[in-house]
């Protein structure tokens, strides 16, 4: 018997009717002779609604209590799906993070999974039950509930597939992974398969189909991840080790409006001071992505970097603690990234990209690169134009 771990996103379980349809799909997979574990997200916009309620209580909700609140959404959907499966005449049982001892590093809001005790899941599977797990949540060593960050149910599913030796299927409201977000560029092409490396870059840079940490896990343990449309026979996309890549240099475009750029003006050019600043920011679990620095003038420099918008106040507190008072915060940026393994062997991609931007008067504020990606910070209002022009140029 094969073990299949399926994950259904919030839009897939947004209503009772959709939950019943998911139950039918899960049962069909079970009837094929598989042992089935299902990971679910919170129903629809439940997480956003819970955050909004918390913000009515406090502008800066206590992180421990916020995680405890947010975790309830997944417990509701997992219980309802189990009920739906049982009502259709099949055995099912739901478990939360405490019951399966999904241990995390204890960081509120963006925990990393450390260990999962699958004994109770394996026992239930051996008893012929369909197991439904509340995604997105874990338990710290102190017994506190912690959450895995946006899209964390993907990571729960892949981690369970790794531990159980199963395959992983991610079901959502899109029918696969596209070269570009179809909501921004309606001529985007669906990919039959994409490498872990490329998907990891796209996920970390703003493509919202997959949680980046779930792709990391898949790559580390060589677990192919199937991404497809919920309750549908439409063929989706496989994230896997790919050796027969096409020759085109760019596989996809990712854009993100979730970051801000902070510029520290006229800071003393002291490598020890700069090191301490960024070490303290890192200790707060704030992800610094793009960094640029001007040449020293009178032993002072300007330093710009990007961070997630949600970390703005905490980061500014850190900078103020180091006496950095001359700050400029730009909240109107889009991180625009092109990604492709083909860039390793194709020259001129950056030149072509900047030619497009220059010709069409798209301002580039910051740039970072790697072997397989180029990321630029541009103005929000140029996002759609930039996506269309680059997608057309590289046939995406």
Residue 325's pLDDT is what? 81
- What pLDDT, in 10s, does the model give residues 207-243? 677 878 899 999 999 999 999 998 888 899 999 988 7
pLDDT at 139 over 90: yes
**pLDDT category, 244, cuts 50, 70, 90?**
low
The answer to the question of residue 314 being in a domain is: no
pLDDT at 8 over 90: yes
Residue 245's pLDDT is what? 52
Question: Of 27-41, 193-207, 295-309, which has the strongest mean pLDDT?
Answer: 27-41
The answer to the question of residue 207 being in a domain is: no
The answer to the question of residue 34 being in a domain is: yes
Residue 24's pLDDT is what? 96
The answer to the question of residue 281 being in a domain is: no
Residue 359's pLDDT is what? 94
Residue 110's pLDDT is what? 87
- What pLDDT, in 10s, does the model give residues 288-328? 888 888 888 888 889 999 999 989 989 999 899 888 888 99
pLDDT at 396 over 90: no
Residue 83's pLDDT is what? 98
**pLDDT category, 348, cuts 50, 70, 90?**
confident
Residue 292's pLDDT is what? 87
- What pLDDT, in 10s, does the model give residues 145-182? 999 988 899 999 999 999 999 999 999 888 899 999 88
The answer to the question of residue 53 being in a domain is: yes
User: Domain of 98: which CATH number?
Assistant: 3.40.1160.10
pLDDT at 23 over 90: yes
The answer to the question of residue 31 being in a domain is: yes
The answer to the question of residue 193 being in a domain is: no
Residue 91's pLDDT is what? 98
**pLDDT category, 58, cuts 50, 70, 90?**
very high
Residue 355's pLDDT is what? 93
Two structure tokens written together for 167: 């395959």
The answer to the question of residue 119 being in a domain is: yes
The overall average pLDDT reported for the chain is 91
**Number of domains observed in the structure of the chain:** 1
Range of the domain at 31: 3-173
pLDDT at 247 over 70: no
């Amino acid at each position: 018997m094969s073990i299949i771990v399926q994950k259904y996103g919030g839009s897939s379980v947004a209503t009772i009717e959709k939950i019943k349809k998911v139950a039918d799909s899960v049962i069909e997979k079970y009837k094929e002779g598989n042992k089935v574990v299902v990971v679910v997200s919170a129903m629809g916009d439940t997480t956003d609604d819970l955050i909004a309620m918390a913000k009515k209580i406090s502008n800066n909700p206590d992180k421990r209590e916020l995680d405890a609140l947010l975790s309830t959404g997944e417990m509701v959907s997992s219980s309802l799906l189990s009920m739906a499966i049982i009502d259709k005449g099949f055995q099912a049982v739901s478990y939360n993070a405490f019951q399966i001892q999904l241990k995390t590093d204890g960081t509120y809001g963006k925990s990393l999974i450390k260990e999962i005790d699958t004994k109770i899941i394996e026992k239930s599977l051996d008893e012929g039950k369909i197991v439904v797990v509340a995604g997105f949540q874990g338990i710290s060593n102190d017994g506190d509930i912690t959450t895995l960050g946006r899209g964390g149910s993907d990571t729960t599913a892949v981690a369970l597939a790794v531990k159980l030796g199963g395959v992983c299927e991610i079901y959502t409201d899109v029918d696969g992974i596209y070269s570009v977000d179809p909501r921004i560029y309606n001529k985007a092409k669906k990919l039959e398969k994409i490498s872990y490396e490329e998907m990891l870059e796209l996920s970390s840079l703003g493509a919202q189909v997959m949680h980046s940490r779930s792709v990391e896990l898949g790559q580390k343990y060589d677990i192919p991840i199937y991404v497809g449309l919920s309750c549908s026979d439409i063929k989706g996309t496989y994230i896997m080790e790919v050796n027969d890549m096409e020759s085109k240099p760019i596989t996809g475009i990712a854009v993100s409006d979730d970051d801000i750029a902070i510029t520290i003006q006229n800071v003393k050019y002291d490598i020890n001071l700069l090191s301490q600043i960024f070490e303290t920011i890192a200790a707060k679990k704030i992800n610094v992505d793009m960094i640029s620095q001007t040449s020293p003038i009178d032993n002072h420099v300007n330093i710009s970097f990007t961070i997630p918008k949600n970390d703005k106040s905490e980061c500014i507190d850190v900078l103020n603690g180091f006496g950095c008072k001359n700050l400029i915060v730009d909240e109107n940026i889009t991180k625009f990234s092109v990604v492709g393994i083909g860039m390793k062997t194709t020259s001129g991609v950056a030149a072509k990209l900047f030619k497009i931007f220059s010709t069409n008067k798209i301002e580039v504020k910051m740039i970072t690169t790697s072997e397989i990606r180029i990321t630029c910070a541009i103005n929000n209002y140029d996002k759609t134009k930039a996506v269309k022009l680059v997608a057309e140029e590289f046939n995406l």
